[in-house]
Structure 1
Amino acid sequence: MADWGPVVIATVLFVLLAPGFIVMIPGSGRFVEFGFSKMASTGIPVLVHTVIYFVLVTILLVAVGVHIYAG
C-alpha cells in the first residue's frame, strides 16, 4: 500500500502558501496583504513563505504523522 499523506500535504501546502495567492507576508505596501495580489513578490516574502511551509510540513508529517493509504 502506498502512503499518499506526504504527497497530499506537501502539494496542498505548496499551492496555498504560494506568495501572493491568499496572503503575502511581508506585503509590498503593508506587513500582511490578503487576497489575490499581483503575484509579484521579492525575495523576502518567498523566504518567509518557505520557512512557514517547512515548519508546517515538518509538524504535520513528522510530529503528527499524517498518513493516507490507498489500495
Structure 2
Amino acid sequence: MQDWAPVFISLVLFILLSPGLIFQMPAKSRLFALGNFQTSVASIIVHTILFFALDAIFLIAIGVQIQLGS
C-alpha cells in the first residue's frame, strides 16, 4: 500500500492557492481580492509561503495519511 496523502494534499493546495485563481493576497490595489485572474510578485511570494506552510502542517505536523488498495 502506498501513502497518497502528499500527492493529494499538495495538488489540492496548489489549485486553491494559485494566485489570482480563487483569491489573491496582496492584490494590486487592496489587501485581498477574489477571482481577478491577475498576479504580482508579492502575491506569488505570499502564496508560495502559504503553500509550503500548509503543506508542512498537513503532512509533517498532523501526519495525514491516505491509504489506497487492499
For the aligned pair, the TM-score class normalised by the smaller chain equals: over 0.9
Partner of 1:51: 49
Letter in 2 for 1:40: Q
Q: Which runs of 5+ in 1 are unaligned?
A: none
Is 2:19 aligned against 1:32?
no
Q: SS in structure 1 opposite 2:15?
A: helix
Which aligned runs of 4 or more in structure 1 are off by greater than 3 angstroms?
none
Letter in 1 for 2:23: V
Deviation of residue 21 (structure 1)? 1.2
Letter in 1 for 2:55: V
Letter in 2 for 1:66: V
Q: SS in structure 1 opposite 2:9?
A: helix
Partner of 1:70: 68
Please give the alpha-carbon distance, in whole angstroms, between the structure 1 residues aligned to 2:15 and 2:52: 13
Q: Which runs of 5+ in 2 are unaligned?
A: none
Offset from partner CA, 1:36-64 (integer Å, 9 cap, x none): 11x22111100000000010000000000
Please give the alpha-carbon distance, in whole angstroms, between the structure 2 residues aligned to 1:20 and 1:54: 18
Please give the alpha-carbon distance, in whole angstroms, between the structure 1 residues aligned to 2:38 and 2:64: 33
Identity %: 41
With the length of structure 2 as denominator, give the TM-score of the two structures: 0.94
Please give the alpha-carbon distance, in whole angstroms, between the structure 1 residues aligned to 2:60 and 2:15: 20
Please give the alpha-carbon distance, in whole angstroms, between the structure 1 residues aligned to 2:2 and 2:33: 38
